[in-house]
A and B are shown apart, each in its own frame.
Chain A
Amino acid sequence: MAAEEVKKVVAKKVKEPPRPEDLALDVASQQMITRSREMEIETIFDRAQTMKPCNIGAQGTCCKNCSQGPCRLPLPKGGIEGEDTRKGLCGATAHTIAARNFARMVAGGAAAHSDHGRGVAEAFLAAARKEVDDYHIKDTKKLLEIAPDYGVDITVEGKDGEILDRDIDEIAVEVGENALAQFGQQNGEVCTTLRAPKARVDLWRKLGVMPRGIDREIVEIMHRTHIGVDQHYENLVEQCSRAAIGDGWGGSMIATDLQDVLFGCPYPVKSSANLGVMKEDHVNIVIHGHEPLLSEMIVQAAELPEMIDLAKKNGANGIQLSGICCTANELLMRHGIPLCGDFLQQELAIITGAVDAMVVDIQCIMENIATVAQCFHTKIITTNPRARIASGDTIHIEFDEHTAFEDAKKIVKTAIENFPKREKEVMIPDERHDLIAGFSYEAVEYHLGGTFRGTYYTLNDNIINGRIRGIGGVVG
Chain B
Amino acid sequence: MTPESAKVFCGPGLAEVCETVGIPPVLHMGSCVDNSRILLAATEVVKAGGLGNDISDLPAAGSAPEWMSEKAISIGHYFVVSGVYTVFGVTMPVSGSPVFEDYLYNKLEDLYGGMWDLEVDPIKHAQKMIAHIDKKRKALGIDKARERVLMDMSDRRELEAA
Seen from chain A, the residues whose Cβ lies within 8 Å of a Cβ on chain B are 56-61, 73-75, 79-80, 84, 93-95, 97-99, 101-102, 105-110, 112-113, 116-117, 195-200, 203-204, 207, 209, 233-234, 237, 240-241, 243-245, 247-249, 251-253, 255-256, 259, 266, 268, 290, 326-327, 329-330, 332-333, 343, 363-364, 434-441, 444-445, 447-448, 455-476
Measured CB to CB, the closest approach of chain A to B59, in angstroms, equals: 4
Contact A256 B33 (CB under 8 A): yes
- Which residues of the partner chain A approach B31 to less than 8 Å between Cβ atoms? 290, 326-327, 329-330
Contact A470 B98 (CB under 8 A): no
Contact B24 A98 (CB under 8 A): no
Contact B73 A456 (CB under 8 A): no
**Mask: chain B, 8-30; 1 = CB below 8 Å from A; 0 = not:** 00000110110001111011111
Contact of A470 among B49, B55, B100, B133 (CB under 8 A): B133
Contact B142 A256 (CB under 8 A): no
Is B153 close to A, CB under 8 A?
no
* Number of A-B pairs, beta carbon distance below 8 Å: 320
Contact of A97 among B13, B21, B59, B97 (CB under 8 A): B97
Contacting A at CB under 8 A, from B43-77, are 43-51, 53-56, 58-77
Is B106 close to A, CB under 8 A?
no
Measured CB to CB, the closest approach of chain A to B94, in angstroms, equals: 5
Measured CB to CB, the closest approach of chain B to A416, in angstroms, equals: 27
Contact B21 A460 (CB under 8 A): no
Is B148 close to A, CB under 8 A?
yes
Contact of A116 among B33, B50, B51 (CB under 8 A): B33
- Which has the most chain A C-beta neighbours within 10 Å: B28, B39, B145? B28
Q: How far is the CA of A196 from the CA of B84 in the complex (A)?
A: 13
- Which residues of the partner chain B approach A58 to less than 8 Å between Cβ atoms? 91, 93, 95
Is B2 close to A, CB under 8 A?
yes
Measured CB to CB, the closest approach of chain A to B91, in angstroms, equals: 6
Task: Give the 6 A-B CB pairs with smallest separation, nearest first.
Answer: A59-B96, A109-B74, A61-B96, A248-B78, A470-B133, A467-B13
- Which residues of the partner chain B approach A472 to less than 8 Å between Cβ atoms? 60-63, 129, 133
Q: How far is the CA of A241 from the CA of B72 in the complex (A)?
A: 14
Q: How far is the CA of A80 from the CA of B148 in the complex (A)?
A: 55
Q: Take A105-B74, A364-B69, A436-B24 as given contacts and tell me if A473 and B98 are in contact as well, using a CB distance cutoff of 8 Å.
A: no
Contacting A at CB under 8 A, from B103-151, are 103-104, 108, 111-113, 129-130, 133-134, 136-137, 142, 145-146, 148
Q: How far is the CA of A313 from the CA of B123 in the complex (A)?
A: 53
Contact B96 A471 (CB under 8 A): no
Measured CB to CB, the closest approach of chain B to A45, in angstroms, equals: 14
Contact B37 A440 (CB under 8 A): yes
Q: How far is the CA of A303 from the CA of B13 in the complex (A)?
A: 43
Contact B148 A473 (CB under 8 A): no
Q: Take A106-B73, A329-B30, A475-B72 as given contacts and tell me if A464 and B97 are in contact as well, using a CB distance cutoff of 8 Å.
A: no
